[in-house]
Amino acid sequence: MKIAVFGATGFIGSYILDSLIEKGYEPSVLVRKGSENKLSQPDKCTIVTGNVKDENSISETMANAEGVIYNIGIIRQVPHQGITFDELHLQSAKRTIDTALQLNVKRFILMSANGVTPHGTEYQKTKYLSEKYLKKTKLDWTIFRPSLVFGPPRGKIEFCTQLRDDLIDIPLPAPLFYTGLLPFHAGQFKMSPIHVKNVADFFTHSISDSSTFGECYHLGGPDDFTWKELISIIAKASGKKKLKIPAPAFIIKSFASLLDGFSWFPITGDQLSMLMAGNTCDSEQAFRKFGIEPIPFSETNISYLYK
């Protein structure tokens, strides 16, 4: 079965690609010119060189496909390069959905995110709106909403590696963010980290399972961790000891609002808002339904952080 994949060169996309190939699917992938070497197994893919802003490129990628996986996503905008949440999370998703309808490719699987809402950050709103657009179609759709995703980065952006590089490795205490005036709950917001291989397997297990049509699944690992706990585990896996101090969020957000446009600043104001809102979910039933064994977040399973 041929599956059209959009977003195959990214962190999660590379694992989805491997899972598809392992299960005998034939991926057809859309990549930008010069990005072919970012594919994990290019020799086992039909490669279409083009752009997700171009309907002809989308149509060529979907030609003779029986399903579509839309996995394109960004965590930071670069407007002067045309890299925005609205363009990649919403407009390009809508073009891909419309093309699937035109070509009668009924199966459509969308990567969303845990915590999406119509009243949140631009990241959350555009993810929400792409979900809303898909749900109104007659496609056989499934939506996955992962929490924090971790795993060997393969040279791509991954949360734990980025946290190591931006916070753990620098000679400053790690911030325990808090709201208000007093740091009683500093660093106590929680997340449910899920391994990237588990996320990829959810996608590929669902392709031919009609019981997942019209369903939305929140994906998180088996355990919840506070920000403070995450920093400690990541530091230990990196071979470091890390001092931690309370950090008032309003000060960080003030700096972020001024420096959002600079890629060297480690966090945007919106990212901090989403981080502190927490990102947990109970996925026990989903793991059981799909027959997937959860890979826990642990020092052993993030040993790739050690340099």
- Per residue in 148-181, pLDDT (tens digit) is 999 999 999 999 999 999 999 999 999 999 988 8
What's the CA gap between 69 and 143, in Å, rounded? 10
When divided into structural domains, the chain yields a total of 2
Give me 234's structure tokens.
């990541």
Same domain flag for 171 and 236: yes
Residue from 174, 172, 293, 284 nearest 226 by CA: 174
Residue-wise pLDDT for 87-146, tens only, equals: 999 999 999 999 999 999 999 999 999 999 999 899 999 999 999 999 999 999 999 999
Please list the residues that pair with 144 across neighbouring strands.
111, 217
DSSP 3-state helix, strand, coil percentages of the chain (rounded to 5)?
40, 20, 40
Provide the pLDDT confidence category of residue 257 given band limits of 50, 70 and 90: low
Percent of the chain with pLDDT over 70: 96
- Asked if residue 109 lies in contact with residue 72, where contact means CB atoms within 8 angstroms, the answer is no
Question: Which domain does 248 fall in, by range?
Answer: 159-191+223-279+295-305
Same domain flag for 28 and 104: yes
Same domain flag for 215 and 230: no
Say what the pLDDT of residue 259 is. 58
What's the CA gap between 142 and 214, in Å, rounded? 6
Q: Is 181 part of any domain?
A: yes
pTM for the whole thing? 0.94
- Asked if residue 234 lies in contact with residue 163, where contact means CB atoms within 8 angstroms, the answer is yes
Q: Is 137 part of any domain?
A: yes
Provide the pLDDT confidence category of residue 265 given band limits of 50, 70 and 90: low
**pLDDT, average across residues 193-198:** 98
Angle subtended by helix axes 55-62 and 92-102, to nearest 10: 50
- Asked if residue 49 lies in contact with residue 36, where contact means CB atoms within 8 angstroms, the answer is yes
Provide the pLDDT confidence category of residue 266 given band limits of 50, 70 and 90: low
- Asked if residue 77 lies in contact with residue 123, where contact means CB atoms within 8 angstroms, the answer is no
Q: Is 284 part of any domain?
A: no
